Amino acid sequence: MASKKVTERVVKLRELLAHHAHRYYTLDAPEISDSAYDALYHELKELETKYPELRSSDSVTARVIGGIMPELKKVRHKVPQWSFNDAFTEEEIRAFDARVKKVSGRDATYDLELKIDGLKIVFTYEKGALVTAATRGDGVIGEDVTHNVRTIREVPQQLKRSVDLIVEGEVYLTRSGFKKLNSEREKAALPLFANPRNAAAGSIRQLDPAIAAARPLGAFIYDVAETSEESPKTQTEELTYIEELGLPVNPEHRYAETLDDVFTYWKEWNGSKREKADYQLDGVVLKVDSRAQQEVLGYTGKAPRFAIAYKFPPEQVQTTVLDITLQVGRTGKLTPVAHLKPVGVAGTTVARATLHNEDFIKEKDIRIGDTVILQKAGDIIPEIVAVVKELREKNAKPWQFPTHSPLCGGDGSIERIPGEAAHRCKVAGSFDQQSRKLVHFAGKHALDIDGMGKETVKLLMEQKLVSNFDDIFELTKDELLALEGFEELKAQNLMHGIAASREVPLDRLLIGLSIPHVGVETAYLLATHFETLTDLARAKEAELSQIEGIGPIIGKAAADWFKDADNKALLARLKKHLAIKKVAPPKRGSLTGKSVVITGTLPTLSREEAEARVRQAGGKVSSSVSAKTSFVVAGEAAGSKLADAERLTVEVIDESAFLKRLRS
């Protein structure tokens, strides 16, 4: 009988796996590596096997996991679609072979096929003509992607015979095609793709077929689900049959009489052959060769009993930990993140890795500056598996979880959650506070990043892609396309907006940093007083306080902000991404000595443009009306500031009069 603790564990595992399955199959945006998902999956399966009373028909171990995009037409599969169970060791393959013999009553031979890392597609032909191409979806209902599949050259629109046929296969992006695609995009000054699998899946699941047509996609067909002709007797003959009809078949399949043949083939492709292949591979698929034996074996609720995927181990590389920072979650939970020297792994350039919690860091003894082993079995989230301590610098210090963070509200205090390995901000609402800071940083008065509004910022934070200002500049287009609601144009616009913001005037950067008491005018005063950001950061409180218009309160706040260790580290990271432009000091002009308020919507000038004109003419822009205000420039819907001006008998003029004064 399962204990309460085991039961709770099973429930949590199901919820976690369902979440990650949705991220992987429906959104093409996994949050954890394949190896991490597989480990959780196997733990759940073992618990359900040990405690049969905990089994459930809605568990991820008992059904096909997948989903569809609401924008695409739904297709109900005539033949149910399945997924493969996985194996990772020779022992698991031997156990699979033993089950096959036990259920079917005789020994089996196998057809071995490479497991291409792409997107499964179901192709339907009527009288030899392609009528439908659909994603697997949840095994019952998929997405109609015929319009995109028709752009793939290898997929025939008409078979060599007039046959009714349903076949299954994989659409992928070749390695050479991926390299060529990125080369073309680099020449066109477009953001590069980092991930061939998600690029392929994203291409096929677009509404516009021109996107798929422009990308080097390929396809392999590997299974006949239904045919109006006589069915082949073996899987080997089935592949020959598919090829005879004019469909593309991967030529590297092999017939295996013994398990030794299986292991030899697997080892060959897990070595040099895998690196030379022009497509990404993540394993070998074993299929019982005899169709009659396959029918005896049948299916479980989610997978065939006659086939299994023998997975390759995840790819591993070396890189360096440049820094460790924190991310804040919606509940205020803080997650440490390693910023890495960028490295290519499994087709993706990786620059950061989640470190989970303080205990994980201590267990692996990860320190800033360490050389680490990084593995990445999935498409998005890498993991640090070990530290190469022999290469550690002598002065490397153990990383300590901070007691305070600028990501947290109030005084920034952090506490460890009782009974857990996790830390959190003491002040509730820290996630919302940080999201507001990021929105402000990307706003019109600061870096003015087009496409990065409130909802986008929250989505990026929830998906652990952005937590601090510098994270924005490490985003890739593929990461955006993997998010729900991000189609090609939206992702491209945001990437262009980020690129345009990389060159920023010093005053607008200061506005975006959310330094206490530093608004538009004070940022302008600081930026025009100092040549560079470095000069400003080195300035003492006394020097800052003596600047006209700054004073002791703002001077102390700015000095304290620049002295903070976290802020110093943040600026160092930002400098790697930004070209900070010098701001010219104000000249004497028609508005020298004048204090001006801009309010309402002007006919031709934006608020920002009007304020810039005031400064160029030597004037000062104020956010509120007082007795010291020289005049107010009012447009439509001026509101309370117009009322304040009338009450204080401050002069009010329109845009036309304002422009005349600038010229005078």
H helix or E strand, kind and range, residue 141: strand 141-143
Mean pLDDT over 94-120 rounds to 94
Residue 78 lies inside a defined structural domain of this protein: yes
Bridging pattern class, strands 371-375 and 383-387: antiparallel
Query: Within this chain, do residues 254 and 141 fall inside the same structural domain, yes or no?
Result: yes
How confident is the model at residue 332, as a pLDDT? Answer: 87
Q: What is the dihedral of CA 101, 106, 109, 114, to 10 degrees?
A: -30
Domain count, the chain: 6
In this structure, what are the phi and psi dihedrals at residue 232, rounded to the nearest 5 degrees? -60, 155
Strands 595-599 and 620-621 turn out to be parallel
Cβ atoms of 504 and 495 within 8 Å: the answer is no
Distance CA 19, CA 32 (A): 11
CA distance readout (Å), 390 to 322, 323, 372, 393: 17, 19, 11, 9
Q: Quick one: 497 and 508 in the same domain?
A: no
In this prediction, residue 170 carries a pLDDT of 93
The answer to which of 33-47, 109-123, 467-481 has the lowest mean pLDDT is 33-47
Q: Within a domain: residue 66?
A: no
Q: Residues 77-104: what's their mean pLDDT? A: 92
- What's the mean pLDDT when you consider all of the chain? 86
Same domain, 569 and 625: no
Average pLDDT, integer, range 499-510: 95
Span 1-32, pLDDT tens digits: 778 878 877 887 788 777 776 665 555 566 65
Residue 541: what residue type? Answer: E
Residue 526 within a domain: yes
pLDDT digits (tens, 9 = 90+) for 194-253: 457 666 776 787 777 787 877 888 999 999 999 999 999 999 999 999 999 999 999 999
Cα–Cα dist 209/144, whole Å: 12
Please say whether the beta carbons of 447 and 509 come within 8 A: yes
Q: Say whether both 481 and 513 belong to one domain.
A: no
Of 92, 76, 73, 72, residue with least CA distance to 84: 92
Strands 316-328 and 371-375: antiparallel
* 238 and 353 co-located in one domain: no
Give which of 31, 132, 28, 115 is closest to 74, Cα–Cα: 132
Strands 217-227, 129-135: pairing is unpaired
In a domain, 175, yes or no: yes
Whether 121 and 139 map to the same domain: the answer is yes
Residue 69 domain-assigned (yes or no): no
Q: What number of residues does the chain have?
A: 664
What's the pLDDT at 379? Answer: 44
Q: For residue 589, is it within any domain? A: no
Distances (CA, A) of 595 to 423, 517, 554, 641: 48, 19, 19, 14
- Per-residue pLDDT at 485: 84
Rg of the chain's alpha carbons, rounded to an integer?
31
Nearest to 325 by CA among 426, 402, 424, 431: 402
Same domain, 191 and 84: yes
Q: What is the pLDDT of residue 30?
A: 60
- Whether 249 and 281 share a structural domain: yes
Best-predicted range by mean pLDDT among 55-59, 123-127, 480-484, 516-520?
Answer: 123-127
Q: What is the pLDDT of residue 37?
A: 67
**65 occurs within a structural domain:** no
Three-class secondary structure of residue 357 per DSSP: coil
Query: In 3-state terms, what secondary structure has residue 299?
Result: strand
Structural domain span for residue 645: 595-663
Beta bridge partners of 126: 129
Query: Checking phi first, is residue 648 left (phi over 0); if not, alpha (psi -120 to 50) or beta?
Result: alpha
Q: What are the helix and strand counts (H, E) for the chain?
A: 25, 24
pTM, rounded to two decimals: 0.50
Residue 68 phi, psi dihedral angles, 5° rounding: -130, 155
Give the end of a domain, one of 474, 501, 528. Answer: 501
Residues 485 and 446 in one domain: yes
pLDDT digits (tens, 9 = 90+) for 59-90: 766 555 555 555 778 889 999 888 899 898 89
Which pLDDT score is estimated for 471?
92
Which pairing describes strands 119-126 and 165-173: parallel, antiparallel, or unpaired?
Answer: antiparallel
Question: pLDDT above 70 covers what percent of the chain?
Answer: 91
How confident is the model at residue 589, as a pLDDT?
A: 81
392's tokens: 């550690």
CATH code where residue 617 lies = 3.40.50.10190
Out of 402, 425, 448, a domain closes at 425
> Distance (Å, rounded) from C-alpha 260 to C-alpha 46?
27
| Residue appearing with tokens 């939206």 | 490
| pLDDT > 90: percent of the chain | 43
Taking only the tens place, the pLDDT of each residue in 312-366 is: 876 667 788 998 989 988 888 999 989 888 876 665 667 788 899 999 999 999 9
pLDDT in tens, 427-438: 888 899 899 999
**How many angstroms separate the CA atoms of 223 and 241, rounded?**
10
Query: What is the model's pLDDT at position 23?
Result: 66
Spell out a b/e string for 613-641, using b for 16 or more CB atoms within 10 Å of the CB, else e.
bbbebebbbbeebeeebbbbbbbeebeeb
Boundary residue ending a domain (523, 558, 581): 581
Take residue 145 and report the two structure tokens written for it: 């992607």
- Name the least confident of 16-30, 451-465, 537-551: 16-30
pLDDT at 32: 57
Q: 127 catalytic, yes or no?
A: no
Task: Give the three-class secondary structure for 363.
Answer: helix
Residue 469: the pLDDT is 95
- For residue 350, tell me if it sits in a domain: yes
Hey, how many other C-beta atoms are within 10 angstroms of the C-beta on 258?
12
Q: Which of 303, 309, 263 is nearest to 285 (CA)?
A: 309
Highest mean pLDDT among 66-80, 94-108, 582-596, 604-618: 94-108
Q: DSSP for 214-249, please give it.
A: TS-EEEEEEEEEEESSPPPSBHHHHHHHHHHTT---
Distance CA 611, CA 597 (A): 9
> Which has the higher per-residue pLDDT, 244 or 592?
244
Q: What is the mean pLDDT of residues 533-560?
A: 92
Q: State how far the alpha carbon of 97 is from the alpha carbons of 285, 286, 578, 621, in Å.
A: 13, 10, 58, 79
CATH number at residue 106: 3.30.470.30
pLDDT at 176 (0 to 100):
83
Residue with the two structure tokens 């009528």:
131
| Buried-exposed string 513-547: b where 16+ CB fall within 10 A, e elsewhere | bbbeebebbbbbbbbbbbeebeebbebebeebbeb
Rounded to an integer, what distance in angstroms lies between the CA atom of residue 610 and that of residue 616?
10
| Listed residue (28, 405, 112, 118) closest to 286, CA to CA | 112
Catalytic residue among 102, 115, 120, 454: 115
Residues 439 and 494 in one domain: yes
Residues 102 and 241 in one domain: yes
- Check: CB of residue 5 under 8 Å from CB of residue 36: no
Answer yes or no: do 296 and 401 share one domain: no
Model pLDDT for residues 368-405, shown as the tens digit of each residue: 999 888 886 554 567 898 888 877 878 889 999 999 99
